[in-house]
Chain A
Amino acid sequence: MSQTLSEQIISRAAGRSVQAGEVVTAQIDLAMIHDSIAPSVIRILHEELGATQVWDVNRIAVAIDHVAPAATPQTADAQNKLRGWVRQQGIPNFFDAGRGIAHQVLIEEGLARPGMLIVGSDSHSTAYGAVGALGTGMGATDIALALATGQTWLRVPETIRVQAHGQLGTGVTAKDVALKLARELRADGATYQAIEYHGFDSFTLGQRTTLTTMAIEVGGKAGIVPPHGLAAADAPPWLALSDHATYSRTIDIDLDNLDPQIAAPNYVDNVVDLRDVGRVNVDVVYLGTCTNGRYEDLAAAARILRGRRVAPGVRMMVVPASSEALQLAVADGTLATLLAAGATLGTPGCGACIGRHMGVLGSTDVCLFTGNRNFRGRMGHPEAQIYLGSPEVAAATAVAGYIADPRTISDQAVTDDGRWATVLQA
């Protein structure tokens, strides 16, 4: 066998051996729809395609995560309609407001599994690559067709191989790897292609998800971590790396010498080493999203914030990616640490990531965000400045009041006027 993981997964889904470049019709293993796109999907499904029933209620997952809980009477009505539709169709895998972000929840629930072909109404459906699935985002019409037929058509992508060397140092994270890749590949470097991440066997499932959610930010159709280690027991026997697979290019990434990375406004590939970002005072630190809102992200931030305070004038918002992440953070005191430091908690879900509710930014706000997009207007006002960084950088920044390297935080002190401040090394 000499196929990439994408070729293997699409071959199985298409029922024949396929190669990059071919256009095929394939069976879908799982389709995800979420609250903000679902009304269009349902309208197209019933009104335009004339389908009365989805193809398989057990292969569909529905989540209310983007505006959860509802922000306006209109979104509340739309969500009630969606609940009614889910009941009427008899779809068991329904995740209501508060359960969390679809991508995280589908992985937690074991619905996304290695070797699956998964289509989702959200572009960050590349997330499912964390378990070794091929996940890809599509628009409302494609998803409606998928719900009606259980099939989709796609071009088998070429694959870029990312080859990691070494181990991450303290204070450097999977997010820094993902931002570094955006820096190298640029926003369209993987357009029409898939990414395979090799050499990340020591990464946790959460770290893998940080990588794969950001595959779309370089244009990727999918981002897949070979299911070594964690997900290996679950993996079908036909899914395995081949020495003879063809890759369009290989990008080597030196984990040993990687420094914290920051994406400056307004593009995800506008990435610099944190040390080169200069002094950037922030108003808001936002910890959450499908990229970095998991328990381990909250715990990493809490390790830095323990015994410290969020700097005066900084608002720190914590929005767990899922109810499971929140419960874990409650159970071991992580949440208490964050709250004691002065952070505020939001309902598990997407939060202000798409600028619709729960802490949207105003025109003068500068935000350090652990999410995946810093586009103009993404989190609210188009003049707001969004910098992307890791949860560790978020915590260090919250303490310092300006974008700070988690490795440089040494101590804290009280300034002359009695306010908390943190003394940073050089």
Chain B
Amino acid sequence: MARVWRFGADVNTDQIVPGRFAPYVTSEAELRKYPFIEARPEFAPSVQPGDVIVAERNFGCGSSREYAPQALKLVGIGAIIAPSFARIFYRNALNLGIPLFEADLPQLSDGMELELDVGQGRLQVGGDTIQLPPPPAWMQEVWNIGGIVPYFRTYGRFPGEAAS
């Protein structure tokens, strides 16, 4: 079963992957080892595909480094849920096809087991069902197709509407 990885507010991209661990100075193949390497060293070795990050406001603030969400994608993060996201991170994650939901879920704590139906935006946790704000259809399409590059190659245009 997927589990919750709980984080606080203002998680910045230097915490997700510090600049010193950028693919530019290490290598792309190493990137999956680096998410939260200093902020939470136990994260990368034990995170499982489908696990969900639940955080407080302004997740992903800081730099434009796409290798931050890319590192989270490489370890198979199923979704990130936070009341708000920094806009560059939001775009980067969407572009890579990582589902993001804007919701404040203080009741979810670290290590809780959950099931997430991304398409329905529905969470099952401890016998409760939580309905997340449903993503617009076009956004689900970007997720389903695997990110903005496949989207662009398929449709020859950018999404028609979005939160940027």
Contact = CB atoms under 8 A, between A and B. Distances in A.
Contacts of B64: 37, 120-123, 125, 137-139
A254 interface: no
A188 B84 contact: yes
Contacts of A122: 63-64
Given A122-B63, A142-B91, A152-B158, A72 B149 contact: no
Interface in A388-408: none
A199 interface: no
Interface in A315-360: 354-356, 360
A23 B84 contact: no
A36 B22 contact: yes
Contact of B20 (A39, A125, A356): A356
User: Range of interface residues on chain A?
Assistant: 35 or more
B39 A376 contact: yes
Contacts of A75: 24-25
Interface in B63-119: 63-67, 69, 84-88, 91-92, 95-96
Contact of B24 (A67, A139, A373): A67
Given A139-B66, A355-B19, A191 B58 contact: yes
Contacts of B62: 123, 373, 375
A376 B164 CA distance: 27
B60 to A, nearest CB: 10
B160 interface: yes
Interface string A99-133: 00000000000000000000011110100000000
Interface residues of B, number: 47
Contacts of A192: 87, 163-164
Contacts of B69: 139
Contact of A355 (B15, B20, B92, B96): B20
Given A123-B88, A139-B91, A267-B10, A377 B18 contact: yes
Nearest to B58: A188
A74 interface: yes
Contacts of A155: 162-164
Contacts of B95: 139, 141-142
Contacts of A139: 64-66, 69, 88, 91-92, 95
A140 B66 contact: yes
B158 A151 contact: yes
Interface string A14-52: 000000000101000000000111011000100011100
Interface in B2-29: 10, 12, 14-15, 18-20, 22-27
5 contacts: A71-B25, A139-B95, A188-B57, A192-B87, A219-B61
Interface of B: 10, 12, 14-15, 18-20, 22-27, 38-39, 57-58, 61-67, 69, 84-88, 91-92, 95-96, 147-149, 152-153, 157-164
Given A75-B24, A377-B38, 9 more contacts: A37-B24, A49-B152, A138-B92, A139-B88, A141-B96, A142-B92, A152-B158, A187-B61, A360-B20
Q: Give the top 6 A-B pairs by smallest Cβ distance, nearest first.
A: A139-B66, A155-B164, A153-B158, A188-B58, A139-B92, A354-B19
